[in-house]
Amino acid sequence: MTTLDLDKSIQYIKGVGPKRYKTLTRLGIYTPRDLLYYFPRAYQDRSQVVNISELVEGDTTMVQGKVTRVKSSTTRGWKSIFEISVTDDTGTLMVKWFNQPYLKEKFQVDDLVLLYGRVSIYKEKRQMTNPDHEFITEDGGPGESMGIVPVYALTEYMNQSTFRKLMTTVVYESLSLIEEYFPESIIQKQNLIPAVDALRIIHFPDSLDGLDEAKRRLKYEEFFLFESAMALQKREIKEVTGYQFFIDQKVESHIFNLFPFTLTKSQELVIREVHRDMCSQKPMNRLLQGDVGSGKTVVAVYALLAAIANGVQSAFMAPTELLAEQHYRTLNRYLANADIRVLLLKGGLKARERRESLEQIKSGEVDLVIGTHALIQKDVHFNRLGLIVIDEQHKFGVMQRTRLRHKGHHPHPDVLVMTATPIPRSLSLTVFGDLDVSTIDELPPGRIPVKTYGVTAGKQADAYGFIRKEVEKGRQAYVVYPLVEESEKLDLKAATEEAKLLQERVFPGLRVGLLHGQLKSDMKDFIMSDFIHHRFDILVSTIVIEVGIDVPNATIMAIEHAERFGLAQLHQLRGRVGRGSHQSYCLLFGKPKSEGARRRLKTMIATNDGFRIAEEDLRIRGPGEFFGTRQHGIPEFKIGDIIQDHVILKLAREDAFAFVNERVKSETSENRLLMKKIMENFKDKFDLIHTG
């Protein structure tokens, strides 16, 4: 037996030729260590042999018996069928394999076999189709395929039994090589089983019960390594020098006087946190969470102006042009009498206009630049960028956030990112694990919770009648249509036609405007501005108004085909109303066709709480889809599940941060291995985060 090196190419393992090697690399397996960490996707319980007479239709089970009949045939010349009958003391089972003609060479009458497969009943006979099989001998003891058998996620070029054999070889040959890299203190504290046991059991468990401890150990390990990468990244950010702003009472009261209202307790607290960050030598790296309508913009304005008061430029980035324009309007309103130069860097500018804008940014002529992701394009250079605020961060990727920070600015600008998609605690730890988090957890006073109703087919006329009544009282309404990207044109047509229909048939005499993504940005701005100034009563729109838009006089959000929107979108859309002192309503038109859609609408009607909605959304969709995995830099864990295993995640995070902060600088024999592992892992994760 050759001695195996866990980190040498897996080509050197016997049984791995060039072809198999290629297949393995497709699965991301390059070394024996990679293979050990390629965990089963499921297990089959083959520990019990069931009597043929006791087989139940639909069960997947193990049977042992003697072959009593063998027959092969073809149907219509293209499909081969190989059939056998297997008998034990209690009965007979029919077994069929399709398109595996070579099997007829293998089976003979009187062979003793183990079969594992799904039981079906055909013409009152029990049968299995395409089961796994193993030949056994009378006195040979239990078959190899008995017990708890791992099932792996494989490609068509690799079958389960070949992979299992390879795994068996590697697991047993590497038992003496697997190091324990957690120090004794962590093993004790978390009561973990040794690495070597965990790896053996995860692949070849003796019982299903024993699996749990192996899984817990490996999940903890996976989370720990990830979180230590987060801890290191956070340290790294804290180690560079940023601006140390000076913000005194005078500057503050100046800024506060611009706001036409008193700040809520929450806003004040968060502003204190931002103040502390800005006045420190370290760059701010903070996430501000707050439900739709909680008043995050005020915090952004505070930070932007405080930075400008210190003689640097600041940038405010929004995910849509509409929102960027709104911020531009808001800031111009606040700054009407101040000597601050604000620039809106729009998309779709003429070359000359854009060049002029860029020149002003570069020369430092403008103090505050507002824009979309156009702000992070290559040709945008700031003179002395001191602060960046990113609104609705969930609409950007982690990548973009990091790109802005890493634009080669010195000193490093402060960064404040804001999000209204409430991120469940479990997720924010992983995605934003390198950020400090502030939360606005109350709405401005006087807000009346939005009332939400489902509108069934028969009630549409009533609902429209209700909208008209509200409009007659002086309120405004949004009517939103879904827009599916693949058929944007079609939907656009639908929205345009609907707007016409609504105008002519449903709301004659009312002023109906239409807004959608395909309009030129000036046109969008124009229509939005008309709505803001109440020159329209009703705005028919696509999802373009989803985030950020703030028109307090609008009190109705009617969503057509609500079943087609995701929960987060519905919540965001509803957040467009309930922003003033009048009772607001959200009307969900449409009929849910799937269980998921039913649950989404039910959740919307049941609660206004963004955090509850986000948790539910996550439950319905799973973490991957919740954020659209890659774009948001959500790491894909092999065995840990950030939702189900959040308790382990939390423990691992605490331990990892403590470990990194206390020990990374003092290497001892006890922690050397773990530190090496963390650094290796950090490099990978860092790449992932920084290059998307």
Q: How far is the CB of 370 from ligand ADP (least distance, A)?
A: 14
Nearest residue to 428 (alpha-carbon basis) of 224, 646, 630, 215: 646
Terminal-residue alpha carbon distance, the chain:
42
Half-sphere exposure of 645 (CA within 13 A, CB side): 23
Which residue's CB is nearer to ligand ADP, number 122 or number 261?
261
Report if residue 623 touches Mg ion, rule: CB under 5 A.
Answer: no
Q: Which residues bind ligand ADP (CB under 6 A)?
A: 261, 263-264, 267, 290, 292-298, 420, 444, 550, 552, 579
**At 65, phi and psi to the nearest 5?**
-170, -175
d(CA 346, CA 613): 33
**What single string gives the DSSP state of each residue in 414-429?**
EEEEEE-SPPPHHHHH
Which residue's CB is nearer to ligand ADP, number 480 or number 547?
547
Q: How far is the CB of 392 from Mg ion (least distance, A)?
A: 7
Among Mg ion, ligand ADP, none, what binds residue 85 when CB lies within 5 to 8 Å by partner kind? none
- By CB under 5 A, which span of 373-381, 436-444, 546-554, 682-690 interacts with Mg ion? 546-554
Which residue's CB is nearer to Mg ion, number 390 or number 514?
390
- Give the tokens for residue 221: 């390990």
Q: How far is the CB of 294 from Mg ion (least distance, A)?
A: 9
Cα angle, residue 25 at apex, residues 220 and 167 outer, rounded to 5°: 60
Which residue's CB is nearer to ligand ADP, number 388 or number 512?
388
Which residue's CB is nearer to Mg ion, number 454 or number 548?
548
Among Mg ion, ligand ADP, none, what binds residue 411 when CB lies within 5 to 8 Å by partner kind? none
Which residue's CB is nearer to ligand ADP, number 316 or number 464?
316
- By CB under 5 A, which span of 121-129, 342-350, 369-377, 540-548 interacts with Mg ion? 540-548
d(CA 550, CA 393): 18
Q: How far is the CB of 311 from ligand ADP (least distance, A)?
A: 26
Which residue's CB is nearer to ligand ADP, number 265 or number 676?
265
Q: Which alpha helices (H) appear in 409-520, and where do they start and end?
A: 425-431, 460-472, 488-501
Among ligand ADP, Mg ion, none, what binds residue 421 when CB lies within 5 to 8 Å by partner kind? none
Q: How far is the CB of 171 from ligand ADP (least distance, A)?
A: 53
Which residue's CB is nearer to Mg ion, number 548 or number 623?
548
Q: Which alpha helices (H) appear in 176-286, and where do they start and end?
A: 184-190, 195-203, 208-239, 249-258, 265-278
Count of residues engaged in binding Mg ion, rule: CB under 5 A: 1
Point out the residue whose Cβ comes nearest to Mg ion: 548
- By CB under 5 A, which span of 223-231, 255-263, 478-486, 545-553 interacts with Mg ion? 545-553
Output b/e per residue, 100-132; b: 16+ Cβ within 10 A. Answer: eeebbeebeeebbbbbbbebbeeeeebbbeebb
Which residue's CB is nearer to ligand ADP, number 289 or number 430?
289
Among Mg ion, ligand ADP, none, what binds residue 294 when CB lies within 5 to 8 Å by partner kind? ligand ADP
Among Mg ion, ligand ADP, none, what binds residue 444 when CB lies within 5 to 8 Å by partner kind? ligand ADP
Q: How far is the CB of 462 from Mg ion (least distance, A)?
A: 33
Side-by-side strand order, sheet with 385-390: 342-345, 368-371, 313-317, 385-390, 414-419, 285-290, 436-440
Under 8 Å between Cβ of 164 and 149: yes
Nearest residue to 437 (alpha-carbon basis) of 282, 284, 286: 286
Q: How far is the CB of 548 from Mg ion (least distance, A)?
A: 4
DSSP count for the chain of H helices, then E strands: 21, 21
d(CA 664, CA 643): 29
Among ligand ADP, Mg ion, none, what binds residue 550 when CB lies within 5 to 8 Å by partner kind? ligand ADP
Q: How far is the CB of 575 from Mg ion (least distance, A)?
A: 9
CA 361 to chain centre: 35
d(CA 23, CA 154): 9
Q: How far is the CB of 439 from Mg ion (least distance, A)?
A: 15
Cis peptide before 411 (omega within 30 of 0): yes
Which residue's CB is nearer to Mg ion, number 4 or number 423?
423
- Give the tokens for residue 458: 């028969």
Which residue's CB is nearer to Mg ion, number 386 or number 548?
548
Q: How far is the CB of 600 from ligand ADP (least distance, A)?
A: 21
d(CA 189, CA 557): 52
Q: How far is the CB of 297 from Mg ion (least distance, A)?
A: 5
Which residue's CB is nearer to ligand ADP, number 55 or number 544?
544
Report if residue 548 touches Mg ion, rule: CB under 5 A.
Answer: yes
Under 8 Å between Cβ of 618 and 427: yes
Which residue's CB is nearer to ligand ADP, number 294 or number 313?
294
Among ligand ADP, Mg ion, none, what binds residue 552 when CB lies within 5 to 8 Å by partner kind? ligand ADP
Under 8 Å between Cβ of 324 and 389: no
Among ligand ADP, Mg ion, none, what binds residue 399 when CB lies within 5 to 8 Å by partner kind? none
Q: How far is the CB of 484 from ligand ADP (least distance, A)?
A: 26
Among Mg ion, ligand ADP, none, what binds residue 295 when CB lies within 5 to 8 Å by partner kind? ligand ADP
Q: How far is the CB of 251 from ligand ADP (least distance, A)?
A: 20
Among Mg ion, ligand ADP, none, what binds residue 298 when CB lies within 5 to 8 Å by partner kind? ligand ADP
Under 8 Å between Cβ of 23 and 155: yes
Residue 64 is given by DSSP the state E
Report if residue 131 touches Mg ion, rule: CB under 5 A.
Answer: no
Q: How far is CA 349 from CA 250, 317, 371, 518, in A?
A: 38, 17, 12, 16
Under 8 Å between Cβ of 327 and 355: no
**Where does this chain bind Mg ion (CB under 5 A)?**
548
